[in-house]
Amino acid sequence: MQLLTGRYSGVFRSRLTGTRTRPIVVIGADSARPILDGGLIIEGSDTKYVDFELMSSDPTRRTSVPGSTPAGLPRINHSIEVNAPRINLLGLVIHDLGNALFAGVLAEDLVIEGCIVYNNGWIGPDRAHGHGFYLQNRRPSKKRIAGNVVFHQFSTGIKISGTSRAWLENVDVTDNVTFDNGAPALPLHGYSWNIFHQGGTQQSAALSFLRNVMVHSADDTQGFKINADGGEPGTGRLVIEDNLLQGRAAIGRWVGTVVRNNIFAMPFSAPIRGTPILEVWAPSITAPMVEAWSQNRYIVQASRAWPFGFQVGGRWTVLTFDEWRQQTGADRTGSIAVAPTPVSVTRTIALDSLPGRAVIVHWSISQAGSFTPDLSRVLRAGQRFAIRHVFALNGPPIVQGVYTGQAISLSAVSPPAPDPIGRQLDRSVRRQPPAVYLVTAR
C-alpha cells in the first residue's frame, strides 16, 4: 500500500491487520516523502510502516500548565501510539510531535529501525516534556530498537520506564545514535538523558544496550541511567557492551550485569562539577561483578581525580580508577586516559530491514577535520547512492554518484541543527555533536 506524496493533517487511526507470514506494508512514495501532520494511533497487527514523515506544525511549545497532559496544548495529542502486535516502523522521520512514540505491553514484538527522531516535546513550568521512544514490554514479547538516530528531544531520547507497575523486560537497544537530548529546552531547563531506564515494583529483566553512540557534547549531565535512584533490583542479564557514552553514566542494582568494552568519556568543553563519570549502585561486591566489568576505557579531564562513584549497602563513596579496581575487582583489563587523547569512533550501521541503507556516525574528542567511512557492507559496485547529513535531510545530497569501491571523505563538523517548530535552539552553547549521515542506495 503506497502513501502518496502530500501533507495529510489530523490524528489518524490505523487498524490494518496482516498476518505473521503476510504482513501489510504501508510505504511512502519514492518521489517525495509524504507527511502526516498530527498523530498516528496504530491498532490491528502485522503491519510495516515505511519511509514517510510524521510531525506537528503547531507552533505552541510552552505552556503554563504543569504535568504530562496539560490542557490547551494541541501537541500532547500529536504523537505515535502503538497498541498492536508485530508492528515495524522503518525509515520514518519523526519530529516536532509531543512524545514521538509510546509503545507499551500491547505493542508485542515491535521493531523500530532506521528512524530519524528529533525536536519532539514542549516546555512546562515544572520541566521539559516529550521523549523520543517511551517503551514498556513484557516477556515473551521482545522489542528491538536498532539503527535509529534520536537527538534534541525536549526531554529523554529513549526511555524504558512507566508507573511503579509497568513491565520493563526484554528490550534490545542496538546500534542507535542518540545525542544532546534536552537541548531544545535550554536555558530554561537542562539537558536530559539520552537513554533512561527506571524500574518499579514489577520486574525489570533482560535488557541489552549494544554498540550505541550516546553523546552529551556540551554538558556533564547524566546521559545514560539504568535503574538508579532506588528502583527494584533488575534480574536476568543486563548487557551494556561496545557502546560509546559521553557524559555521566549511572548503573543501578541488577542481578547479572555485563559491562564490557565500552568507552566512557566526559564532554571536554563542559564545566567540571566534581561529579563522577560513572556511578554504580550494587547490593554487594561479588565475583560475578569482577568477571562482568572488563575492558572498558575511561577518558577524563585532568583535574578529575576521582572519576567513579560507588554505593554498596547504602554507603556512598567516590574512587580513583586504581581504587575502583582494587575495591571492586572490576576493570582489571580496563584503562583510563586523560584528555586530550587521540580517540575516535567511526561506525557504518547497515540497516537490516532497509537494504542499501545505513547510518554513518563519527565521534572524536576534537570533532574536527574529516573521516572516511567503510561503505562496502552497504553498497554494491555500480550502485547509485546519495549521502545526506541528518540535520539536512531535505537538502541536496552532500555526496552522490555511482559506487565503485572508492574512498568517500565526509566532514566531522556538523551543519547547524534544525530549530524546533515554534522555538529556536540556544546557539550560545558550544556543542560538538557527532557527525551523523544517512546513506541511501537508489
Q: Check pLDDT > 90 for residue 318.
A: no
- How high is the pLDDT of residue 79? 95
CB contact at 8 A, 284 and 314: no
Whose cell is 493533517? That residue is 9
CB contact at 8 A, 293 and 259: yes
Between CA 236 and CA 96, with CA 81 as vertex, the angle to 5 degrees is 110
- How high is the pLDDT of residue 103? 96
Q: What is the pLDDT of residues 196-253, one digit of tens each?
A: 988 765 667 889 999 999 998 776 677 899 886 666 677 778 899 999 999 888 888 7
pLDDT category of residue 287 using cuts at 50, 70 and 90: very low
Alpha-carbon distance 377 to 399, whole Å?
A: 18
Residue 318's DSSP bridge partners are 309
User: Residue type at 281?
Assistant: W
Q: How many residues does the chain have?
A: 442
Quote the percentage of the chain above a pLDDT of 90.
60
User: Residue type at 224?
Assistant: F
Whose cell is 504530562? That residue is 68
H or E element: which one contains 290? helix 287-292
Q: Check pLDDT > 80 for residue 254.
A: no
User: Residue type at 222?
Assistant: Q
Whose cell is 500532547? That residue is 76
Collapsing DSSP to helix, strand or coil, 268 comes out as coil
Whose cell is 506537528? That residue is 56
Sheet holding 384-389, edge to edge: 344-350, 357-364, 435-441, 384-389, 399-402
Residue 116's DSSP bridge partners are 93, 149
- How high is the pLDDT of residue 366? 78
Contacts of 423 (CB under 8 A, 6+ apart): 61, 62, 123, 184
- How high is the pLDDT of residue 236? 74
Q: Longest Cα pair distance anywhere in the chain, in angstroms? A: 62
Query: 183-197, 303-317, 395-409: lowest mean pLDDT where?
Result: 303-317
pLDDT category of residue 275 using cuts at 50, 70 and 90: low
SS (H, E, C) 364-396: ECCCCCEECCCCCCCCCCCCEEEEEEHHHCCCC
Q: Check pLDDT > 60 for residue 274.
A: no
How many angstroms separate the Cα of 3 from the Cα of each of 30, 52, 89, 157, 336? 10, 8, 14, 28, 51
Closest CA to 28 of 440, 401, 384: 440
Contacts of 23 (CB under 8 A, 6+ apart): 46, 47, 48, 86, 88
Question: Do the bridges between strand 93-95 and strand 116-118 make them parallel or antiparallel, or are there none, so unpaired?
Answer: parallel
Q: Per DSSP, which regions of 185-294 are E strands?
A: 195-197, 204-210, 213-215, 222-226, 235-241, 244-246, 248-251, 257-260, 263-265, 278-282, 293-294
Residue 389's DSSP bridge partners are 437
* Cα 134 → chain centroid: 11
pLDDT category of residue 191 using cuts at 50, 70 and 90: confident
CB contact at 8 A, 158 and 132: yes
- How high is the pLDDT of residue 228? 66
User: DSSP letters of 312-347?
Assistant: ETTEEEEE-HHHHHHHH-TTTT-EEEESS---EEEE
Alpha-carbon distance 373 to 102, whole Å?
A: 33
Alpha-carbon distance 94 to 97, whole Å?
A: 7
Alpha-carbon distance 100 to 119, whole Å?
A: 9
How many angstroms separate the Cα of 304 from the Cα of each of 215, 344, 375? 19, 21, 38
| pTM greater than 0.85 | yes
Alpha-carbon distance 222 to 216, whole Å?
A: 8
H or E element: which one contains 160? strand 158-160
